[in-house]
Structures are given as C-alpha cells and as structure tokens.
C-alpha cells in the first residue's frame, strides 16, 4: 500500500491536536521562545491561526527562530519571503515550528514520537519512501536566504526542504490510506475539528482561519462549489487514494472572487493531499495523491488545485457519500472514462 507524504496536513492532523490537548492557547510565550523584543504577546492561539505576525517561510537549520529573525531575511526577494502582521492571518510554517518546539519542551519527548503515539501515522524517516518528486520553489528560496548552507538531502525524508532539515510541527509525517482511515475517525471523535473550526483571524484575501483549518468558500473553481451540495447530516470518513499522474483534459479555473463561506473547513498539503471536514455532522473527505504530472513533473499550484478538484468531483460522482446509486451529481452526462468508470 503506497505511503503519501502528508506535508502540511501534519499541521491539522498532528500538530494542532497535540497543541489543543497539551498547551495553554492564551499563555504569553515570548520569553519561553526568545521573542524578548516583541511588543505584542505571542500565544499558541496566534500560532495555530497563522496570525502571530511571523514571516511565511524561512530555512530551518536548527537555529532558534527569534535569533534567525533578528539577523533578518531577504523580504520580498521571493514569494515565500513575506512578513506577517499580528492579528492578520498569513500562512506560515514558522508558527507550527514554534508549536512543535513548545510541545517538545513541555512534554520532554521528540515531536515525531508524540505525533506517532497520538495518531498512528508514520513519522519520517520512512522505511518505505513516498514517490520521489522534483525539487520545488523552496529550494530556490533556501539559496537566497542561506547561500552558505546546503539544502538538506537524504533518502526516505519528506520532499519539503524544511521538513528534510527536521523542522518539527510543520511537516514530516506520512500515511497510507488505511492509516488515515484509522486516525480520522478518532480525530473526529476527539472533537478536534470542532475545536479547530473556530473563526479566529482573516487573511488579506478574505480567507478565514481557525485553529489549524481554514474555511471552505464557494464560487467558481473553489471546492465549496462541490461540497456545499452535500446534504447536512451526513457522517463518515472517506479516504480517496489516487496514485495516477493523470490530469483533466480541461482545467477548472478559479476566479479571483472568493464567494461565500460554507460549512466545510479544509487544509492542503504541499505534496498533493487535501482534507475537507464538516464539523457539525462529522463528514470528512481526505484526498491522498502525489504532486506529479503525466511526465513526472512537479505540478504548479494552480494545476495541482485543478487536479484535486478533478479527483474530488470524480469521487462525489461515482462513489457518492450520500449512498445514492446514481451519484451525487446525477446531471453529469454518463461515466467518466478518464477514471475508468
């Protein structure tokens, strides 16, 4: 059974549950984390909602983040080098890095052991490595910020450069479909999605973040357009495993208009997987796929989004969560040959 690099799905499936279980969300952590020059409090609630005012990304080399920030970074030189504002969400790997460090300090155990014990998912390094995919934009950004420090490379480690370097909390876990089917019901039973799906901060583009998940919006090309049609009251975990490299013949474009929020919350993984959950009734859909195109190329983010859409739509049509024999979207004209249906 193939193993999938979960990348940032580690955040809502491992890091946030551990934080909600073990950490005070509103305690000021400035002194504990070395942010002694910071004017505003630094809390786990901010870190979980990406609203602590941290940059979006920095290379990880084991140095304390507060010290790294004091040295500065090439702000604006790359899309990953953005500076956040306190109280406004800016998706940042660094906040979850700090949560990982806090968990290790307070519980006196390595993050990978804590996460594996809670979830049953597989921490890196793995004996069975997920499919190898080409280097992504984090490698170019790494060279800009740390030109004297080589990008870490080793077998059986995550694709993400920071995860390869060992950043706890941000990524570093993998899963088979069966492992995910085992963990997600317990994740739901532990009320983690309900505790995470609390509107906490907004991003500049209107995205609403909770404590480890963000709201799903409808609108053209947005996943809420598919998911909002699912009747309320449905329950169950649906893990959709797709190991193909197929792409839709026509990409589903996403318009700039955000649309309206739905009852679903979500998270993506850089390497391909996606997670959608409706906390009110416990309906959960997880897509497990690799970020590879037909020729083995690394898909750009827009093409990857369109492929996730294609996989999700195909599942809802031909493996309906409603239990209806004719599928959820009965208006479609016949079976999808590209899915072998």
Question: Percent of the chain at pLDDT above 70?
Answer: 94
The residue ranges of DSSP E strands in 116-213, in sequence order, are 122-123, 173-175, 201-202, 208-209
d(CA 132, CA 202): 35
pLDDT band of residue 184 (cuts 50, 70, 90) is very high
pLDDT band of residue 322 (cuts 50, 70, 90) is low
Q: Please state the domain extents for the chain.
A: 4-175, 177-319
d(CA 70, CA 83): 13
Q: Report DSSP state, residue 300.
A: P
- Nearest CA among 263, 279, 261, 274 for reference residue 193: 279
pLDDT band of residue 161 (cuts 50, 70, 90) is very high
Q: Cα-flanking dihedrals φ and ψ of residue 209, to 5°?
A: -105, 140
Q: Tell me the three state secondary structure of residue 174.
A: strand
At residue 328, the pLDDT reads 42
Residues in Cβ contact with 328 at an 8 Å cutoff, skipping those fewer than 6 apart: 229, 230, 316, 317, 320, 321, 322
Q: Tell me the three state secondary structure of residue 294.
A: coil
The residue ranges of DSSP E strands in the chain, in sequence order, are 4-5, 122-123, 173-175, 201-202, 208-209, 214-217, 236-242, 261-268, 274-278, 283-289
At residue 250, the pLDDT reads 85
Q: Cα-flanking dihedrals φ and ψ of residue 277, to 5°?
A: -145, 140
Of 173-177, 215-219, 236-240, 318-322, least confident by mean pLDDT is 318-322
Taking 90 as the threshold, does the pLDDT of residue 280 lie above it? yes
Q: What is the pTM of this model?
A: 0.93
d(CA 269, CA 304): 11
At 15-52, the pLDDT tens digits run 999 999 999 999 999 999 999 999 999 999 999 999 99
At residue 320, the pLDDT reads 63
Across the chain, what does the average pLDDT equal? 91
Q: Tell me the three state secondary structure of residue 309.
A: helix
* 321, 281 Cβ separation under 8 angstroms: no
* 296, 314 Cβ separation under 8 angstroms: no
d(CA 95, CA 35): 13
Q: List the structure tokens of 203.
A: 């991003």
At residue 323, the pLDDT reads 52
Bridge partners of residue 236, in order along the sequence: 283
Question: Percent of the chain at pLDDT above 90?
Answer: 78
Bridge partners of residue 276, in order along the sequence: 266, 285
Q: Report DSSP state, residue 338.
A: G
Q: pLDDT: is 158 or 338 the higher one?
A: 158
Q: At what angle do helices 111-119 and 93-107 cross, to 10 degrees?
A: 90
Bridge partners of residue 5, in order along the sequence: 174
The stretch 296-319 carries a mean pLDDT of: 91
Residues in the chain: 341
Taking 90 as the threshold, does the pLDDT of residue 143 lie above it? yes
At residue 334, the pLDDT reads 34
At 190-226, the pLDDT tens digits run 999 999 999 999 999 899 999 999 999 999 899 999 9
């Amino acid at each position: 059974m193939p193993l999938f690099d979960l990348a940032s799905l580690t955040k809502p499936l491992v890091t946030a549950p551990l934080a909600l279980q073990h950490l005070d969300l509103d305690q000021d952590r400035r002194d504990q984390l070395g942010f002694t020059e910071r004017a505003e409090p630094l809390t786990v609630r901010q870190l979980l909602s990406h609203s602590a005012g941290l940059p979006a990304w920095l290379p990880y080399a084991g140095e304390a983040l507060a010290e790294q920030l004091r040295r500065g970074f090439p702000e604006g030189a790359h899309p990953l080098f953005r500076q956040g504002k306190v109280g406004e969400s800016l998706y940042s790997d660094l906040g979850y890095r700090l949560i990982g460090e806090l968990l290790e300090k307070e519980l006196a155990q390595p993050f990978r052991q804590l996460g594996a014990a809670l979830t049953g998912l597989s921490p890196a390094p793995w004996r069975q490595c997920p499919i190898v995919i080409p280097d992504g934009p984090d490698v170019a950004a790494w060279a800009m910020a740390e030109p004297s420090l080589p990008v870490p490379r080793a077998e059986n480690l995550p694709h993400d450069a920071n995860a390869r370097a060992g950043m706890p909390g941000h990524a570093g876990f993998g899963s088979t479909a069966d492992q995910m089917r085992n963990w997600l019901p317990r994740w739901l039973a532990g009320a983690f999605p309900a505790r995470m799906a609390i509107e906490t901060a907004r991003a500049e583009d209107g995205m609403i973040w909770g404590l480890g998940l963000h709201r799903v919006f409808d609108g053209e090309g947005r996943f809420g357009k598919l998911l909002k049609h699912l009747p309320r009251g449905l329950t169950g975990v649906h893990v959709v495993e797709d190991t193909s490299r197929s792409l839709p013949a026509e990409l589903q474009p996403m318009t700039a208009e955000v649309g309206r929020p739905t009852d679903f919350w979500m998270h993506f993984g850089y390497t391909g997987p996606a997670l959608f959950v409706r906390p009110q009734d416990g309906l959960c859909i997880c897509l497990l796929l690799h970020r590879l195109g037909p020729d083995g190329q690394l898909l750009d983010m827009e093409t990857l989004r369109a492929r996730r859409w294609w996989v999700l739509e195909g599942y809802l049509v031909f493996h309906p969560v409603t239990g209806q024999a004719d599928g959820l979207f009965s208006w479609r004209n016949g079976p999808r040959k590209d899915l072998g249906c």
